[in-house]
Amino acid sequence: FFVGNSLVEGLRLNSDDGYPFYCEVGISLPTLNRKLALPDDYDIAIIEMGSNELGAYSEESFKNSYQELIEILDALATVLDSTYQLDQEPYAARVNNTNVRLYNDYIRSVCSETGATFVDCSAFFGDTLPAEWTRDGLHLTSSTYANWYQWIIKKVGLDQY
């Protein structure tokens, strides 16, 4: 079950294997936690959230909202993708690599506290998002979404089914 913002919407549009998605362009964690509709059956939740929250939430507020989302999902395993480093900085004043690193640390902390698995996407993206992989400095090209999706599927072991 894939959960998240516009980046997850990009994954949804470039996948074809039938896994359920709940995503919304521009959604924040507090709004997602209020609106989330769960599918009937899933074993793993793959969350990609953080880019819309960068610099807009305190550490405590962000971590509490992320923990609440994990509790709502109540999945056997929860995998959290990190927000990737941006090539074109800043994408927006608060959406910058300093905040990306800070919020990724918050996500790592939430994973430690909840037992969720942190998947570091720098293994896919490298130190920064390559300029040719993005349309606007944050959102990806279709082929990059498709490749990232396949990388995630393999990384979490869904390619074994």
The answer, yes or no, to whether residue 137 has pLDDT greater than 90, is no
Residue 94: CB atoms within 10 A of its CB come to 12
CA 45 to each of CA 72, 92, 126, 157: distance values in angstroms, whole numbers, following the listed order: 11, 29, 24, 13
Of 76 and 34, more confident: 34
The residue ranges of DSSP E strands in the chain, in sequence order, are 2-4, 21-23, 44-48, 77-81, 117-119
pLDDT at residue number 154: 93
The answer, yes or no, to whether residue 27 has pLDDT greater than 90, is yes
| Mean pLDDT, residues 10-24 taken together | 94
| DSSP one-letter code for 79 | E
| DSSP one-letter code for 159 | G
- Determine the Cα–Cα distance for residues 131 and 157; give it in Å rounded to an integer: 29
Residue range 36-78, pLDDT digits in tens:
999 988 989 999 998 888 888 899 999 999 999 999 998 766 7
Residue range 106-133, pLDDT digits in tens:
999 999 999 999 998 888 988 888 889 9
CA 62 to each of CA 1, 30, 71: distance values in angstroms, whole numbers, following the listed order: 22, 9, 14
**Computed over its alpha carbons, how large is the radius of gyration of the chain?**
15
The answer, yes or no, to whether residue 101 has pLDDT greater than 90, is no
